Chains A and B, each alone.
Chain A
Amino acid sequence: MTSKKQLLFAYGLAIHLLLIGIICYAAFPAKAPDEPIRIMYQTNAGKVLFDHHTHTAASGYGATCFDCHHHPSDDDSALIACGECHQAPAEDGSKPERCLDCHDESDIEDTEIVSRADAFHQQCTECHEQFGKGPQSGSENCSKCHVL
């Protein structure tokens, strides 16, 4: 049996820590920063961890924003997640909402937007090949990025 003092201590511990816990979760909610640090892509071929910060930081690979975020060129409105435009074609043929923010549907109905997977494969392998660094293209190299 435990003494009354020990019981009171446990009650006090539970109540105080519950309050601290609620404050931590409520006042400092986990939110994604405006510029991503790392991005974990969940794909059919396994997850891919992309270190956004290392690719863009001057101490890292020093890529500029517009090296990858290409449309509209050199405009801050291009700084959005890749998947907002690069999506699998919708069944009803409608275009991604983000495209319709600027374009009329009739303007872009003939425009083919490559899927996110194709866009990434193009973008990543092109740059990696150009610099001869990191995982290279080739069917034997899938597991250099994709982790099942």
Chain B
Amino acid sequence: MNSKKTLIVSHAPFWHDGSGIPERSYHTIIAALPAAIVGIAFYGTPALGVISLAISSAILWELLLNRAMRQPPTIGNGNAALVGLLLAMVLPASTPWWIVLIGTFLAIVIGMQIFGGIGANPFNPVALAFAILMVSYKNHLDFDAGLVNFTLSFPSSTDPLAALKAFGPSAVEGLNYMDLFLGKQVGALGSTCGLALVLGGLYLILRGFIRWEISVSFLAGVFVTAALFNMADPARFAPPAFHLLTGFTMIGAFFLATETSSSPVNFVPMLIYGALGGVMTVLIRNIGAYVDGVIFAILLINLINPLVDKIRPKAIGKVA
């Protein structure tokens, strides 16, 4: 009688498949790895160095913060490793070690931990860290200047977006879209190979780790805005497919904009959020001051996230 177990009532979820944040982080890492491996294949040991140092230092910064704040270590959930990997993938292979350390510090400490850690960050930590680095260390984060000592077997030895910005669409019209999609372009070490990023993104969508609404609306936003610009003046603005295949568009659509705590959860808000990101990206690229707009566009849509999340189904019932 009175067995203690029979009378216990627990809260939802009553059924759990055992997966949690660690599974989510490590599956996202697995999805991102092909693009990172393509980067290592193109740029060799320096790229491996940046990736390794970024992942390890991100974990160590989080551990240090856990210790400093007298919390149990949270590094087991794999989120720090994921942030480190994604940050490495948007950096050039020539990044000096100290910029990698500063970058992971900015992402983990400034981007996440001071807001309360995973799930509490209002901005994507990778985008935030990269934006600060890009403004602070312009020359080191310039793909053309950084990669001068690399022998590249790409059709063009300049960053296509930088060439577009400086010399107009005529400077990049000779580029083959298939080459761009396969990653044969100057850029960050893990964000140029569209094929690998799309495959990774599809895997995450099919497994349910990210929402297709954000990725698809982001890409659609880029495509439609770039197409409108291109139709208005083809001599000044590049065709939409070029914008889809260059810079951070793919990694932004599948890995950065979809970050959980800084993106909305309902259907319509997700569409608005993603599409606005795509529109902002092309606006910054075409008429803004920066070569690539994805990072700032993602920070901007992170800002509107709480606002668009107000668009939600009405709760059933009423308060008496």
Contacts and interface: CB of A to CB of B under 8 A. Distances in A.
A121 interface: no
Interface in B135-157: 139, 142, 144-145, 147-151, 157
A59 interface: no
Interface string A126-148: 00000000000000000110010
Given A21-B53, A147-B166, A39 B76 contact: no
B250 interface: no
Interface in A35-89: 36-40, 42, 47, 49, 51, 53-54
A84 B166 CA distance: 29
Interface in B149-184: 149-151, 157-158, 162, 165-167
Q: Classify chain A: how many residues form its interface, as a range.
A: 35 or more
A106 interface: no
Given A6-B76, A28-B46, A51-B157, A20 B148 contact: no
Interface residues of B, number: 46
B49 A40 contact: no
Contacts, number: 115
A37 B166 contact: no
A49 to B, nearest CB: 5
A30 B166 CA distance: 28
A47 B77 contact: no
Interface string B59-101: 1100100000000111111101100000000000010110000
A37 B56 contact: no
Contacts of B50: 21
A9 B151 contact: no
B52 A20 contact: yes
Q: Which of A33, A40, A42 has the most CB of B within 10 A?
A: A40
B57 interface: yes
A39 B162 contact: no
A82 B145 CA distance: 18
A9 B48 contact: no
Contact of B46 (A18, A24, A53, A54): A24
Given A37-B148, A49-B144, A10 B78 contact: yes
The B interface is mostly helix, strand or loop, or mixed, namely helix
Given A14-B63, A28-B49, A3 B76 contact: yes
A2 B148 CA distance: 44
Nearest to B93: A30
Given A14-B63, A21-B56, A54-B157, A38 B76 contact: no
A38 B297 CA distance: 31
A13 interface: yes
Given A6-B22, A49-B144, A18 B60 contact: yes
A46 to B, nearest CB: 9
B266 interface: no
Contact of B76 (A9, A28, A53): A9
A36 B148 contact: yes
A15 interface: yes
A40 B147 CA distance: 10
Contacts of B46: 24, 28, 30
Nearest to A28: B45
A20 B288 CA distance: 39
B49 A6 contact: no
B36 interface: no
B97 A10 contact: no
Contacts of A32: 149
A90 interface: no
B45 A24 contact: yes
Contact of A14 (B49, B59, B94, B165): B59
Query: Quick one: which of B49, B77, B142 has the most chain A CB within 10 A?
Result: B49
Nearest to A27: B45
A25 B49 CA distance: 6
Closest 6 CB pairs of A and B: A24-B49, A2-B76, A21-B53, A21-B52, A6-B76, A18-B56
Interface of B: 20-22, 44-46, 48-57, 59-60, 63, 72-78, 80-81, 94, 96-97, 139, 142, 144-145, 147-151, 157-158, 162, 165-167
Given A14-B60, A24-B49, A28-B49, 8 more contacts: A11-B75, A14-B56, A14-B81, A17-B52, A42-B139, A47-B144, A51-B157, A53-B151
